A = this chain, B = another copy of it.
Amino acid sequence: MKARVHVMLKDGVLDPQGEAVRHALGALGFAGVEGVRQGKVIELDLKAADKAAAEAEVQSMCEKLLANTVIEKYTVEIV
């Protein structure tokens, strides 16, 4: 079973990496970009056969390792 986790900075937390991308896009001539936020996507191959159990396990992974929940939010998707 595959799971996909998105980790993004929470709204309101400054995202210098996203800002750098926005500037670079402007410099390349892409004028219509109003904002950029950059995050991580983590794809996991899991042994678990049960969807609900897999989702709970991945939630736990996020809390313990994959996301810094002070400044980041995450979403888990079983695919």
A residues with a Cβ closer than 8 A to B are: 6, 8, 18, 21, 24-25, 28, 30-48, 57, 60-61, 64-66
Contacts and interface: CB of A to CB of B under 8 A. Distances in A.
B64 A47 contact: no
Given A28-B65, A30-B57, A41 B44 contact: no
Number of copies: 2
Nearest to A60: B30
A30 B65 CA distance: 11
Given A39-B41, A40-B41, A41-B41, A47 B65 contact: no
A8 B42 contact: no
24 contacts: A8-B43, A18-B42, A21-B65, A21-B66, A24-B65, A30-B57, A31-B47, A32-B46, A32-B47, A32-B48, A32-B57, A33-B44, A33-B45, A33-B46, A33-B47, A34-B47, A36-B42, A36-B43, A36-B45, A38-B41, A39-B40, A39-B42, A39-B43, A41-B41
